A and B are shown apart, each in its own frame.
Chain A
Amino acid sequence: MVTRRATVVGTDPDVDLGVKLCGILLATPLIPAAGTLAKETLGEVKGVYGAMLPKTVTPRPRAGNPPPRVAEVSSGMINSIGLQNPGLDRFLENLTDYDVGLPLFVSVAADTVGEFVAMCERFAGEERVSAVELNLSCPNVEHGGLQFCAGPGTVREVVAACRVPLSGKPLFAKLTNEGVVNNAVAAEEAGADAVTLINTIPALVLDPRERQVSLRGGLSGPAIKPIALRAVYEVSQVVGVPVIGVGGVTSGTDVAEFMLAGAAAVQVGSGSFVREPQEMLEEFAAYLRKNGLRARDLADALTER
Chain B
Amino acid sequence: MKLHTVEVLQRERFGDHALLRYRWTGSPPEPGQFVMARVASSTSPTRSLDPFLPRPLFAHDYDGEAMRLLFEIRGRGTALLAGEGTELLVSDPLGRGYTIDGGPVALVGGGVWVSPLKLLARHLARSGVAHDVYLEIPAAAPEAYAAWISGSYPDATLVPTGGASDASRAVLESIGDLSRYAGLYASGPAPMLDAVKRVSRDTIPSQLAVRERMACANGSCYGCAVPVWEAGERAYTRACVEGPVFPGEVLAW
Stretch at the interface among A6-14, A163-171, A266-274: A266-274
A61-89 interface bits toward B, Cβ cutoff 8 Å, 1 = contact, 0 = none: 00111111111111111010100100000
Q: Smallest distance from the beta carbon of B4 to chain A beta carbons, Å?
A: 11
Q: How far is the CA of A86 from the CA of B35 in the complex (A)?
A: 28
Per the bound structure, the CA–CA distance linking A71 and B54 in Å amounts to 12
Query: Which one of B51, B77, B226 has the highest number of Cβ atoms from chain A below 10 Å of its Cβ?
Result: B51
Contact of A74 among B3, B50, B225, B236 (CB under 8 A): B50
B212 within 8 A of A: yes
Closest to B241 in A: A40
Q: B49 touching A222 by the CB < 8 A rule?
A: yes
B216 adjacent to chain A (CB < 8 Å):
yes
Most buried by A among B38, B53, B221: B221
- Cβ of B144 under 8 Å from chain A: no
Q: A64-B236, A84-B222, A84-B236 are in contact. Are A70 and B215 (CB under 8 A)?
A: yes
Q: Closest CB of chain A to B186's CB: distance in Å?
A: 19
Encode contact with B along A272-304: 1 for CB under 8 Å, 0 otherwise: 111110010000000000000000000000000
Interchain nearest-CB distance for B32 vs A (Å): 19
- The answer on a CB contact under 8 Å between B53 and A77 is yes
- Report the interface size class on chain B: 20 to 34
B5 CB to nearest chain A CB (Å): 13
CA distance in complex: A31, B17 (Å)? 40
A-B contact count (CB 8 A): 114
Say if the beta carbon of B214 comes within 8 Å of chain A: yes
A41, A63, A69, A75: the one contacting B49 at CB < 8 Å is: A75
7 nearest A-B pairs in the assembled complex, by CB-CB distance: A70-B223, A38-B219, A38-B220, A273-B216, A75-B50, A40-B219, A67-B225
* A binding-site residues for B, Cβ under 8 Å: 35-41, 44, 55, 63-77, 79, 81, 84, 221-223, 250-251, 270, 272-276, 279
New contact pairs (17) apart from A36-B220, A40-B218, A221-B49, CB-CB < 8 Å: A35-B222, A64-B222, A65-B225, A67-B213, A70-B213, A72-B75, A72-B77, A221-B52, A222-B49, A222-B50, A222-B52, A273-B1, A273-B53, A273-B217, A274-B53, A275-B47, A279-B46
